[in-house]
Structure 1
């Protein structure tokens, strides 16, 4: 057996362990009773340590060296796989098992505390556990920074978006920061002149909302033989490509939230289900990074599902399920509803125009948390101040402010920027798909999504991690990641 073949077998076993952790994580977030949190934390911590031991086995470094010496005998996909193996090994070997276990326990416990603290608007309840998570994440960033020769923030960012840097994000975000405030004022002025939407009023039973969500998922091509939809506090997608678990949340007086949440997560899920089967269990077969992952969810939720052709397809379905014949149930009103822009508090409910400002807020604050310039105890005040500067609103409670997201309790510092990187990529990708499929609007209006999904599968999904994010975008769209397509899209849709 060659060194490369030995590595393939070892990484396949690690992927199997990852699958077990993913299933436990899904169960933890969706259906586990609060009393089971401690036992589940122990289980997940042990599995995390076992995987770390596999990733840092002494012979693994020698096998990587040997395989890299014989790289000329490998195919392009195998070479890319070897590069990803080395990257994974570098991340794991930089950290000792004690820190891995401590982080796993701390984040599991903090997530459970976050659930009740957010519901009861008690930041003081969350503070001690969040301080521990931030402290351990600072240690993680420090050891990876030293091992990689990167800044602490870049070392964490590489976990979510390989090769991306804080400087690149700052460049992209500075352009958005210069464009969005004045543009937002223009959009709100136009919206006032055109007249706002009439909010549909009524009670929309959860089973009905779920049924419509499942209908949209089926139309988009989600394979229910290899996945399912459930409920959680915070919508997310997990599992593995052959067993994709996605969740949404429901409000009985507002069907729009759950449907857009379901469509967003369906974009993630389709990416996972379309990853190349021949590379299951290998690093090269994984999704490239969270920027492309978020591009797929935001392409479905924002570019596609809020487009006029999609709304014409969806209107009779929504009217049949929820309509009551009132003034709110006209197509023009539905379009205004889904194109509505406002200065809101909640990121997951934000429109396309204000969403990047929510992310810029988090990007700035998490960097300050990481370098110690912002203490966790001062987070609520800093959050409110920055939100007012960017969006001119200040949340009345911490539940609507700094406690609304699960990411920091889960230790995911460096993740937030990928949402807006994904929005930029989604605009590029959707434009390229529209150029490649001349009758795409007509197909969408008929509820025929296969042409779009086939294009995405070929040009994005099946590339997996064989190329970098910029290389995938360059091949698919003709340019590396930039902001112009996104800006052009906003101007076209909202002005």
Structure 2
């Protein structure tokens, strides 16, 4: 009964993960400052317990025995995913994991202090240590998984994605965007000349913004019996599928930042709430990687909430909650122009839908070189500046805090993560194209505030499939083709050209 042993183990791990998730969400939203030290101890202990439990030596025997058992197709998929997760969890020695954790913690602490001071010189040695360990990790994972080193790192975030498949897609997108960004800016200037941008005047009461966000979440299909909305320093979607913890943050001078954050995180939440409940204790029943998760949030935020038909429905609801007077000078065309504003900028997290992929492609190219050993940390500022200048016409050579120091990811050892952001945007566009083909009147449904059709398609093709298939296979099953940059390019031309 080795498969039964794995299922029992899965339920035990699910309980530990549940505790970690809720304690972590509470720490970011409700925990008093004085609770931090003990909370860190508790969560650290649970992480250790989870790793111990998930990597126990007998698990390898259970997997081997289960492979010879008479299993259903569903059980075979579950076993395959369990084995993949176990192999990834056990291929790094414990002493290496400790060294890596210490180096990353020290690097993150330095980053928080030195980024504000624009001090690359004193930050670089700590990052060099993290990169050296990342190269070591990549090689160990490559050996265990039979992959190239950078592919082995990408595998941790998006199972099945490979540089050989991803790089040509991003290269094509880059070539298009370098020429298209100036065109989009020119088109925007012409629109602004014909219809000057308008601003809305606050203040917008936080409680009224909260009620607006809650009403939007409900309309989009969020289940409040299995989740809630709170406030945190940075918006996130955490918790567990049966108890999703979503957050946003508020400004009283404008409301769109908070609302778009709510819509983005609702996309993540709908995915979590839509996963197959009967498989929640097994890896096969959990979300399929970062790109697919990001595609669900960007589907709501960009494919839906940046579209004019969405705002035909949404504007009256905004006015109901925030007051007709506050929006008297704004109509659908004005808010659509605001949410679709294109602007060259230094900071990835502030970038718009058009320029954002170039920020990601820059990082994707540099971190491949860092892991491959063709780029050293000391040369990163110059390499970053050269690409930033070529792609977006902006120089960061004397401004590392807005260049290679702007993200925490490399400090935290997260190499192979960045591609997921833009792959998510491409996947979202590809899903939208499939939905439009399946439901030609989908835009009329959205303008009427009816999201049941888009949710039903995503539930059947994405949410309920969970981790049965690799990221590329899941996308092909859902949309009929592998990742196709032409779909996203066509979307950008239509919206911004």
Cα deviations across residues 92-128 of structure 1 (Å, max 9, x unaligned)? 1101223334444555565566556556666678656
Structure 1 position 231 matched with structure 2 position 228: no
Q: Does 1:253 align with 2:253?
A: yes
Q: Partner of 2:473 in structure 1?
A: 471
Q: Does 1:409 align with 2:421?
A: no
Determine the C-alpha separation between the residues in 1 that align with 2:187 and 2:167.
30
Count of matched residue positions in the alignment of Structure 1 and Structure 2: 492
1:484 aligned to 470, 483, 486, which one? Answer: 486
2:58 aligns with: 59
Q: Is the 1:49–1:100 contact (alpha carbons within 8 Å) kept by the matching residues of 2?
A: no
Deviations 1:268-321 (A, max 9, x none): 111011000110110110111222111111110100111111011112233441
Give the conservation status (yes or no) of the 8 Å contact 1:41–1:105.
no
Is this contact kept in 2: 1:241–1:275, CA < 8 A? yes
- RMSD of aligned C-alpha atoms? 2.7
**Structure 2 length-normalised TM:** 0.90
Mark the CA change 1:205 to 1:349 in structure 2 (over 3 Å): closer, same or farther.
farther
Q: Which residue of 2 aligns with 1:144?
A: 141
Q: Which stretch shows the higher mean deviation, 259-268 or 386-395?
A: 386-395
How far apart, CA to CA, are the structure 1 residues paired with 2:138 and 2:431?
32
- Give 1:20 deviation, angstroms: 2.4
Q: In the TM superposition, what is the alpha-carbon distance from 1:87 to its structure 2 partner?
A: 0.4
Cα deviation, residue 213, structure 1: 1.8
For 2:428 and 2:417, locate their aligned partners in 1 and report how far apart those are by CA, in whole Å. 17
**Match of 1:176?**
173
Gaps of 5+ in 2: none
Q: Give the C-alpha shift of residue 470 in structure 1.
A: 2.7
| Whole-angstrom CA distance in 1 between matches of 2:36 and 2:142 | 32
Matches within 5 A, 1:30-429: 30=29, 40-70=39-69, 73-104=70-101, 107=104, 114=111, 130-195=127-192, 197-320=197-320, 321=322, 324=325, 328-376=329-377, 379-380=380-381, 382-394=383-395, 398-429=400-431
Confirm or deny: 8 A CA contact 2:292 2:427 kept in the other structure.
yes
Q: The residue matched to 1:245 in structure 2 has which SS? A: strand
Asked if structure 2 preserves the Cα contact closer than 8 Å seen for 1:45 and 1:101, the reply is no
Which whole-Å CA distance do the structure 1 matches of 2:216 and 2:403 have between them? 31
- CA offsets per residue over residues 389-442 of structure 1, 9 Å max, x none? 211124685554434434333332211101111111111111111222232111
Distance 1:323 1:380 in 2: 49
Q: Give, in whole Å, the separation in 1 of the partners of 2:376 and 2:257.
A: 33
Change (3 A) 1:406 1:255: farther
**Matching residue of 1:444:** 446
| SS of alignment partner, residue 394 of structure 2 | coil
CA deviations on 1:362-397 (whole Å, 9 max, x unpaired) are 212222333444444654554344322211124685
Describe the shift of the 1:409–1:265 C-alpha distance in structure 2 as closer, same or farther (beyond 3 A): farther
Is the contact between residue 161 and residue 471 of structure 2 (CA under 8 Å) also seen in structure 1?
no
SS, match of residue 316 in structure 1: helix
> Contact 1:48 / 1:100 at 8 angstroms: preserved in 2?
no
For the residue of structure 1 that corresponds to 2:155, the secondary structure is helix
Higher mean displacement: 347-356 or 326-335: 326-335
Structure 1, unaligned runs of 5 or more:
none
Name the structure 1 match of 2:21: 22
With 203-212 and 112-121 compared, the bigger mean Cα shift is at 112-121
Q: Which residue of 1 aligns with 2:12?
A: 13
Higher alpha-carbon deviation: 84-93 or 228-237:
228-237
- On the 8 A contact 2:111/2:405 being kept in 1, the answer is yes
Q: Is the 8 A contact 1:299 1:426 kept in 2?
A: yes
TM-superposed deviation, 1:4: 0.8
Q: Describe the SS at the equivalent of 1:8.
A: helix
> Is contact 2:160-2:472 (8 Å) kept?
no
- CA gap 1:347/1:122 in 2 versus in 1, 3 angstroms: same
Question: What secondary structure, in the 3-state scheme, does the structure 1 residue paired with 2:247 have?
Answer: strand
CA-CA distance at 1:63 after TM superposition? 1.2
Q: CA deviation at 1:66?
A: 1.1
- 1:41 CA drift (Å): 4.8
Deviations 1:238-275 (A, max 9, x none): 22111212233333333222221221111111101100
CA distance 1:131–1:29, change in 2 (3 Å): farther
Aligned partners of 2:207 and 2:395: how far apart in 1? Answer: 35
The 8 Å contact of residues 366 and 413 in structure 1, kept in 2 or not, is answered as: yes
Of residues 180-189 and 202-211 in structure 1, the stretch that sits farther from structure 2 once superposed is 202-211
